[in-house]
Chain A
Amino acid sequence: MHNQEEEKIFLDKIDKEIKIEPKDWMPEQYRKTLIRQISQHAHSEIVGMLPEANWITRAPSLRRKATLIAKVQDEAGHGLYLYSAAETMNISRDEMIEQLHSGKAKYSSIFNYPTLSWADMGAIGWLVDGAAIMNQVPLCRCSYGPYARAMIRICKEESFHQRQGFEILLTLSKGSEAQKQMAQDSINRWWWPSIMMFGPNDDASPHSKQSMAWKIKRFSNDELRQKFIDVCAEQVKILGLTLPDEKLKWNEERKHYDFGEINWEEFWNVVNGNGPCNKERLAARVKAHEDGAWVREAAAAHAKKNPRPLKGRLATV
Chain B
Amino acid sequence: MNELINYTLQLADNSLILGHRNSEWTGHGPILEQDIAISNIVLDLIGQARNFYQYAAVLINNSTNQQFNQSTTEDTLAYLRNENEFKNCLLVEQPNGDWAKTILRQFFFSAYQFYLYQHLQNSNDETIAAIAEKSLKEVTYHLRWSSEWIIRLGDGTEESNSRMQKAIDDLWMYTDEFFEASSYELFAANEGFGAGVSLLKKDWMKKVKDVFDEATLSVPAELKQQIKWFGKEGKHSEHLGYILTEMQFLQREYPNSIW
| Contact between chain A and chain B defined by CB under 8 Å | yes
> For B157, what are the chain A residues with a Cβ–Cβ distance below 8 Å?
294, 297-298, 301
Asked if B117 CB lies within 8 Å of chain A CBs, one says no
Q: Decide: A306 and B155 in contact? CB cutoff 8 A.
A: yes
Q: Decide: A62 and B46 in contact? CB cutoff 8 A.
A: yes
Q: Decide: A60 and B79 in contact? CB cutoff 8 A.
A: yes
In the complex the two chains form, what is the Cα distance from A175 to B49 in whole Å?
A: 26
B-contact 0/1 string along A56-73, CB 8 Å cutoff: 111011111110011011
- With A60-B259, A310-B151 in contact, do A69 and B36 touch (Cβ < 8 Å)? no
A-contact 0/1 string along B193-212, CB 8 Å cutoff: 00000000000000100110
Q: Decide: A49 and B53 in contact? CB cutoff 8 A.
A: no
In the complex the two chains form, what is the Cα distance from A26 to B99 in whole Å?
A: 42
Q: Which of B19-27, B125-133, B167-175 contacts A (4 or more CB under 8 A)?
A: B19-27
Closest to B203 in A: A316
Asked if A302 CB lies within 8 Å of chain B CBs, one says yes
Closest to A80 in B: B32
Partner of B29, one of A83, A288, A302, A314: A288
> For A287, what are the chain B residues with a Cβ–Cβ distance below 8 Å?
28
> For A295, what are the chain B residues with a Cβ–Cβ distance below 8 Å?
30-31, 34, 99, 153, 160
- With A56-B23, A171-B258 in contact, do A298 and B156 touch (Cβ < 8 Å)? yes
- With A73-B36, A76-B36, A317-B143 in contact, do A57 and B50 touch (Cβ < 8 Å)? no
Asked if B223 CB lies within 8 Å of chain A CBs, one says no
Q: Decide: B47 and A66 in contact? CB cutoff 8 A.
A: yes
Interface of B is mostly: helix
Q: How far is the CB of A19 from chain B (nearest CB, A)?
A: 26
- With A56-B26, A66-B50, A69-B23 in contact, do A176 and B257 touch (Cβ < 8 Å)? yes
Q: B residues 90-119 with Cβ under 8 Å of A?
A: 98-99
Asked if B254 CB lies within 8 Å of chain A CBs, one says yes
Q: B residues 141-171 with Cβ under 8 Å of A?
A: 143-144, 147-148, 151-153, 155-157, 159-160, 163
Measured CB to CB, the residues of A under 8 A from B are 46, 49-50, 52-53, 56-58, 60-66, 69-70, 72-73, 76-77, 79-80, 83, 118, 168, 171-172, 174-176, 178-179, 284, 287-288, 291-303, 305-306, 310, 313-314, 316-317
Measured CB to CB, the residues of B under 8 A from A are 16, 20, 23-24, 26-36, 39-40, 42-43, 46-47, 49-50, 53, 74-75, 78-79, 98-99, 143-144, 147-148, 151-153, 155-157, 159-160, 163, 207, 210-211, 214, 243, 246-247, 249-251, 254, 257-259
Contacts A65-B46, A73-B39 aside, 5 further interface pairs with beta carbons under 8 A come to A56-B24, A62-B53, A62-B75, A171-B259, A292-B31
In the A-B complex, list the 3 residue pairs whose CB atoms are closest, starting with the nearest. A292-B30, A298-B156, A298-B160
17 pairs from A and B in contact (CB 8 Å cutoff): A62-B50, A62-B75, A69-B23, A69-B39, A73-B40, A80-B33, A284-B28, A288-B30, A294-B157, A297-B157, A298-B152, A298-B159, A302-B152, A303-B152, A305-B155, A310-B148, A316-B207
